[in-house]
């Protein structure tokens, strides 16, 4: 299996750090960039062309929906995993409609998100709105 490049966009430095540390334990996963700012995230996505973007909807600058719109409008080939505090069905459905292949509602562990990386690289979208 080839290396999987990832960008993490999450306003929680603590969670982003935990996720990065967890992902780096797997030799096949490479975290190319981490930011809590959506505008910086767009730059990281353009620079590194990641296979997967792990994204929170609440970011400084451009929010997660804006990042997903950018990815879709520019036909960028990256899978999106959303990790969010929002469990409202309308928000979850909007994220999926904008391209999220997986949606986690916090609290969720970094390990659980890491386990879903291979799933989002397959064609079938998944959905998990249940807290752990």
Residue-wise pLDDT tens digits, 45-93: 999 999 999 999 999 999 999 999 999 999 999 999 999 999 999 999 9
What mean pLDDT is reported for the chain?
90
101 phi/psi in degrees, rounded to 5 = -90, -20
Using the predicted structure, report yes or no on whether residue 41 has a pLDDT greater than 50. yes
**Would you give the DSSP letter of residue 121?**
T
Cβ neighbours of residue 98 under 8 Å, at least 6 residues apart? 65, 68, 69, 72
Instruction: State how far Cα 63 lies from the chain centre.
Output: 13
Q: What share of the chain is helix, strand, coil (3-state, %, to 5)?
A: 40, 25, 35
Work out the average pLDDT over 24-51.
96
């Amino acid at each position: 299996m080839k290396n999987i490049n990832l960008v993490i966009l999450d306003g929680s430095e603590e969670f982003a750090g935990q996720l990065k540390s967890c992902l780096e334990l797997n030799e096949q996963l490479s975290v190319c960039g981490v930011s809590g700012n959506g505008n910086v995230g767009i730059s990281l996505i353009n620079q590194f062309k990641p296979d997967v973007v792990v994204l929170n909807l609440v970011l400084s600058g451009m929010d997660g929906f804006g990042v997903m719109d950018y990815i879709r409008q520019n036909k960028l080939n990256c899978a999106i995993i959303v990790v969010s505090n929002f469990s409202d069905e309308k928000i979850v459905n909007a994220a999926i409609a904008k391209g999220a292949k997986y949606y986690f509602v916090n609290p969720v562990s970094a390990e659980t998100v890491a386990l879903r990386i291979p799933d989002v690289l397959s064609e079938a979208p998944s959905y998990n709105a249940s807290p752990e």
